[in-house]
Amino acid sequence: MSNMPQNKLFDFNLTTLIVGMGGTGLSCARYLQTQNCQFSIADSRAEPNNLIVVKNEFPEIEILTGIFDLEVFKHYQQIIVSPGVSIRSNLFNRLAEQGCFILGDIELFAQVVDKPVIAITGSNGKSTVTTLVEKIANECGIKTIAGGNLGIPALDLLSSNSDLYVLELSSFQLETTYSLQTLSATVLNISEDHMDRYRDLDDYRQVKETIYDNTDYAIVNYDEQKIFSNIKKQCLELDKEILLFGYGLAKKENLMDCSYPLFYLQDNKFLYHDQQFIMTTEDIKIKGTFNYLNVLAALALLVPLQLDKNKQYRAIKQYNGLEHRCEWVSDIEHISFYNDSKGTNTGATIAAIQAFDELEQVILIAGGVGKGANFDDLGKVIRNKVKATILLGTDADKIKNSALKLGAKKESFYPVASMSEAVFVAKSLAKIGDVILFSPACASFDRYQNYMQRGDDFKKCVLSLQEEIKHVS
């Protein structure tokens, strides 16, 4: 299916099948209803969470629940597939071979949107960059709204009548997107994620890179050398009229290459655009090297709009970051607690750990469902930078074993059975000046509905502990 691009026009006169009854499926159903397009909706679950909602809102439509059936699906000439449903299956391969137009909500959005779009993907940092671009553009007087994989489904954005759309896109959404034209686009970074759905890291990377297929400005992290060389090669071979902008750390080899504009971070303290100073990292509220690079990515994405620089920089300095992403929760007896529940893969957790100063001792709380990830890179960071590791969840032992084989000390690991126990044990191990970081490196669905619920539980446990200590003292 991934090798079968489907550049077709959606036909609102054809009865359509929507696959998936989650937030994306509901968004598609509501949009098709406004366009007087006939549709049915399917979900592999016998009792989907939104089944009652669908029956109430769309009493006349056909609802298909349970195991997907090729004999039923093949009667539909176009099928909108929610990102939670993999199209890498025999069912969807056979449907595509028979001429069925298989698309996602982003592709439908792409075919009807009539305003500029900025698109962002990557393993980590997508939501921060997406919301930061939205904030900067709005502060500069452009009516902008963000959504897609973050917050508001793409088709729901259209009713805002905005002048600029900013889309966070997952690899799953990109698999069913073929014609999205973007003003600028970026792949922020690549690390192992969703390895239960992709053959290997290259397979995952290639899907991410499709975000550059129809862009005017390709914004590329030049520390991601494989992506950078791939995009430069494509531009040369296909003679595409794409403006290439790079951003990343100030390395000698990057600064010497003057064939493209650079946004770079110098000495982890100073942000530059080519030779022009932007601001110091002290001016930025969201901390850590990865966040400073996120700021540079946001600025690069907005280059084609030629916005007022002072207004852009003011917006950046006012930006407080996002909940569940290295979010400060509380200081208890001079020990800082941070909630990074959105750290659902190893790359995110590594970045979160490395965001803290060398003088700050990190106690890590991690674990959950690893989605087939290799934890060796995280194991190295645990060995080198983590004082103690509190582990819970399905794949806790996989994280521990990876770190142990790479030289971490056995006595630095503490298995726990609950979040409250994790917080209590972490606090008991901490000393003044230490950081307790909840960054799971795993998905949440072994214990929670989503990473937000998981992060809220962590914060609740921290604040409960704080109250207990107040009463004791």
Active site residues: 126, 149, 194
Q: CB–CB of 202/227 below 8 Å?
A: no
Dmax of the chain from CA atoms? 72
Report the distance separating Cα 218 and Cα 100, nearest Å.
31
**Mode of pairing for the β-strands spanning 327-332 and 276-280:** unpaired
Name, in order, each residue with C-beta under 8 angstroms of 443's C-beta and a sequence gap of 6 or more.
344, 368, 369, 370, 371, 451
State the residue for tokens 């921290």: 462
DSSP 3-state of 80: strand
By the 8 A CB rule, do 183 and 270 touch?
Answer: no
Task: Decide if 263 contacts 296 (C-beta within 8 A).
Answer: yes
Contacts of 259 (CB under 8 A, 6+ apart): none
DSSP sequence for 385-447 = HEEEEEE-STTHHHHHHHHHHTT--GGGEEE-SSHHHHHHHHHHH--TT-EEEE--SSBSTTT
> What's the one-letter identity of residue 345?
N
Q: In what order do the strands lie in the sheet with 327-332?
A: 327-332, 335-339, 435-438, 362-366, 386-391, 413-415
Element holding 8 (H helix, E strand): none
Q: Rg for the chain (alpha carbons), in Å?
A: 23
- Residue 214, φ and ψ in degrees, nearest 5: -130, 50
CB atoms within 10 A of CB 233: 10
